[in-house]
């Protein structure tokens, strides 16, 4: 069994990953500064003997001894990563540098949670890994997009210069239980609004598309990538190719919750990508991975989770 560090482990995806790795018997160190993460996401792990929590910021040095590092620390919702954009850039870039320095010192294998945002507002659709993207370097999303691009650059330079064993995944929109109800991303916003009977806020005309992957599928892909053959660095797209408009998503959420909420339109944020859909042939070939959970099933499970959270809030 391995000693594994998960940065951002108290966040949405990180908490599922920590649980899976701990259940498999690994020694898991969860690192988080709790900017967007929550102890609620990992309370069920606190009495595991093979789980440890460190409150720490990845922009600071870290000295631990581990075999593997999953680097997830970074706010992922536009609302949160734009709250303090300079900090977001530091988290992405300095965080990557520190984790790579750590990987170098202890000779650990390291996986970077990169993002479909490296493709920006893509002119190529759907997106293969070889597409180099269309990113605005000076816009309000740039702290995240360019931060993640720089992190990828650092990963490949540490690989070439120091022979670090790197694995880079580009995650497309992922959803599921443990998302923060105030996260600001579309799936959690729509579900919480529907359950509260509030207006569902579709930004712009709602014709922009996203492809939504259920978190269990994603985490399975992440672990397969960590365990992939020596020398396979990626980057590899991980996402569900099912593509939906935001208006379709809003209607699905209303249907599944039986909500009486109305759809209202709000201004489209600046630089909001118009379309996004992964080509996952590389993940299929190298990782024998593809997602299985259909949007409707994943939404049902996520709705169940938010019902519980809201019930607790009002209790």
Given the rule CB under 6 A, which residues bind ligand UDP? 61-63, 77-78, 97-98, 101-102, 104-105, 173, 185-186, 189, 201-203, 208, 210, 246, 268-269, 272
- Cα gap 182→266, rounded to integer Å: 17
Residue 189: contacted member of ligand NAD, ligand UDP, none (CB under 5 to 8 Å, by partner type): ligand UDP
Residue 98: contacted member of ligand NAD, ligand UDP, none (CB under 5 to 8 Å, by partner type): ligand UDP
- Cα gap 187→253, rounded to integer Å: 9
The answer to whether 48 is a known catalytic residue is no
Q: Out of 144, 158, 175, 214, pick the active-site residue.
A: 144
Does 35 contact ligand NAD by CB under 6 A? Answer: yes
Q: How far is CA 311 from the centre of its chain?
A: 26
Interface region with ligand NAD, contact rule CB under 6 A, candidates 53-61, 120-128, 242-250, 303-311: 53-61
With tokens 């910021």, the residue in question is: 57
Minimum CB separation of residue 117 from ligand UDP in Å reads 6
According to DSSP, residue 181 is labeled T
Minimum CB separation of residue 121 from ligand NAD in Å reads 15
Burial zone of 239 (CB within 10 Å; 0-12 exposed, 13-18 middle, 19+ buried): buried
Does 202 contact ligand NAD by CB under 6 A? Answer: no
Q: How far is CA 124 from the centre of its chain?
A: 22
Minimum CB separation of residue 112 from ligand UDP in Å reads 15
Instruction: Evaluate whether 208 touches 274 at the Cβ level (below 8 Å).
Output: yes
Maximum CA extent, the chain: 58
Minimum CB separation of residue 260 from ligand NAD in Å reads 29
Catalytic residue numbers read 144
């Amino acid at each position: 069994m391995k000693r594994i560090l998960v940065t951002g482990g108290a966040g949405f995806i990180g908490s599922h990953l920590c649980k899976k790795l701990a259940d498999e018997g690994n020694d898991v160190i969860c690192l988080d500064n709790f900017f967007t993460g929550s102890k609620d996401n990992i309370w069920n792990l606190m009495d595991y003997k093979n789980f440890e929590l460190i409150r720490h910021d990845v922009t600071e040095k870290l000295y631990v001894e581990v075999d593997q590092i999953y680097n997830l620390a970074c706010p992922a919702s536009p609302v949160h990563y734009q709250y303090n954009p300079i900090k977001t850039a530091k988290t992405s870039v300095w965080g990557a540098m520190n984790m790579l320095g750590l990987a170098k010192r202890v000779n650990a294998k390291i996986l970077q949670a990169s993002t479909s945002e490296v493709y920006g507002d893509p002119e190529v659709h759907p997106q293969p890994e070889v597409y180099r993207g269309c990113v605005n370097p000076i816009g309000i999303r740039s702290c995240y997009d360019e931060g993640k691009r720089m992190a990828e650059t650092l990963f490949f330079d540490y690989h070439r210069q120091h022979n670090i064993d790197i694995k880079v995944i580009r995650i497309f929109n992922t959803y599921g239980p443990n998302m923060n109800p105030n996260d600001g991303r579309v799936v959690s916003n729509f579900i919480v609004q529907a359950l509260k009977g509030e207006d569902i806020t579709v930004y712009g005309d709602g014709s922009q598309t996203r492809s939504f992957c259920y978190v269990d599928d994603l985490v399975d892909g992440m672990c397969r990538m960590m365990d992939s053959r020596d020398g396979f660095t990626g980057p590899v797209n991980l996402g569900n190719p099912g593509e939906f408009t935001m208006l379709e998503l809003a209607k699905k959420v209303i249907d599944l919750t039986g909500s009486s909420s109305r759809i209202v339109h709000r201004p489209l944020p600046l630089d909001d990508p118009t379309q996004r859909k992964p080509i996952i042939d590389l993940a299929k070939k190298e990782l024998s991975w593809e997602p299985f959970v259909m949007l409707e099933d994943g939404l049902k499970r996520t709705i169940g989770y938010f019902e519980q959270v809201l019930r607790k809030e009002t209790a």
